[in-house]
Amino acid sequence: MNTHTETTHGNTPELSRRGFLFNSLGATLSATAVALLAGRPSLLHAGGAPAAAANGDIRILNTALAAEREAVAAYQLGAESALLNRDVLKVAIKFQDHHKAHADLLGSTIRTLGGEPAEPPDRYNFPTSALRQQNDVLSFAAGLERGAVSAYAGAIPLFAERDLSKAAASILADEAMHWAILRQVLGMDPVPDAFYS
Q: What is the SS3 string spanning the chain?
A: CCCCCCCCCCCCHHHHHHHHHHHCCCCCCCHHHHHHHHCCHHHECCCCCECHHHHHHHHHHHHHHHHHHHHHHHHHHHHHCCCCCHHHHHHHHHHHHHHHHHHHHHHHHHHHCCCCCCCCCCCCCCCHHHCCCHHHHHHHHHHHHHHHHHHHHHHCCCCCCHHHHHHHHHHHHHHHHHHHHHHHHCCCCCCCCCCCC
| Rounded (5°) CA angle 167-171-174 | 155
pLDDT at 29 over 50: no
**119, part of any domain:** yes
For the chain, how many structural domains are there in total? 1
Q: What is the mean pLDDT of residues 114-134?
A: 93
Q: What is the pLDDT of residue 10?
A: 38
Q: What is the pLDDT of residue 50?
A: 52
Nearest Cα residue to 153 out of 166, 170, 167, 172? 172
User: Contact 61/31 with Cβ under 8 angstroms?
Assistant: no
| Rounded Cα gap, residues 28 and 16, in angstroms | 15
**17, part of any domain:** no
pLDDT at 126 over 80: yes
Q: Please give the mean pLDDT across all residues of the chain.
A: 74
CATH number of the domain within which 39 lies: 1.20.1260.10
Q: What is the mean pLDDT of residues 175-183?
A: 89
Q: What is the mean pLDDT of residues 18-44?
A: 41
Which of 7-21, 67-81, 150-164 tops mean pLDDT?
A: 67-81
**Confidence band (pLDDT; 50, 70, 90) for 9?**
very low
**12, part of any domain:** no
**5, part of any domain:** no
Q: What is the pLDDT of residue 13?
A: 43
1 C-beta neighbours (distance < 10 Å), count: 11
130 C-beta neighbours (distance < 10 Å), count: 13
Domain that holds residue 101: 24-185
- 169 vs 126, residue with greater confidence: 126
**7, part of any domain:** no
Query: What is this structure's pTM?
Result: 0.71
**197, part of any domain:** no
